[in-house]
Amino acid sequence: MKDFLLRLKEKFTQPEPVEDNPADYVELGSTGNKEERAKILVRPFVMEEFEDIKEVLDSLREGSTIALINIKPLKDKDLVELKRAINKLRKTCEAIEGDVAGFGEDYVVAVPYVARIHRSGQSVTMQAAPEA
């Protein structure tokens, strides 16, 4: 066993002969720009038709996109299609463990599992009216 370990050590400590053929070399380095290194991308979308939801869902499934969706054009056009699109978005966010929330009346924000949406002032305690 000791001989085996010594031979293994010798094999890994001895440098391998290197030929001077430049085609054998691979250059490594940080030639990428800052945009390629970004971890999360905030991307705007405009929902004009129900079919526009597909691009949003594909981006969310990748896990590195926060979607800001303008729903006003579809809201003005067809409320039934808007409800279908929002329902599909909500179900996809649940499946990928993301989050979705309304942002004003004309925007929806959807995030993947790496983020959560802060909701403030939504919990209102209802008290029973005092009996007279």
**What does the alpha-carbon distance between residue 110 and residue 93 come to, in Å, rounded to a whole number?**
7
**What does the alpha-carbon distance between residue 88 and residue 84 come to, in Å, rounded to a whole number?**
6
pLDDT score of 126 more than 60: no
Q: Domain segments of the chain: what residues?
A: 38-115
Q: Which of 9-13, 104-108, 118-122, 126-130 has the lowest mean pLDDT?
A: 126-130
pLDDT category of residue 9 using cuts at 50, 70 and 90? confident
Place of tokens 């705007």: 44
Residue 65: strand, helix, or coil: strand
For strands 107-111 and 41-46, give the pairing: unpaired
pLDDT score of 6 more than 90: no
Assigned superfamily of 38-115: SepF-like protein (3.30.110.150)
Q: What is the pLDDT of residues 43-101, one digit of tens each?
A: 999 999 999 999 999 999 998 899 999 999 999 999 999 999 999 999 999 999 999 99
pLDDT at residue number 123: 45
pLDDT at residue number 132: 42
Q: Which run of H or E residues covers position 44?
A: strand 41-46
pLDDT score of 129 more than 60: no
pLDDT at residue number 70: 95
pLDDT at residue number 10: 75
Closest C-alpha among 64, 73, 122, 112 to residue 89: 112
Residue 12: strand, helix, or coil: helix
pLDDT score of 25 more than 50: yes
pLDDT at residue number 3: 77
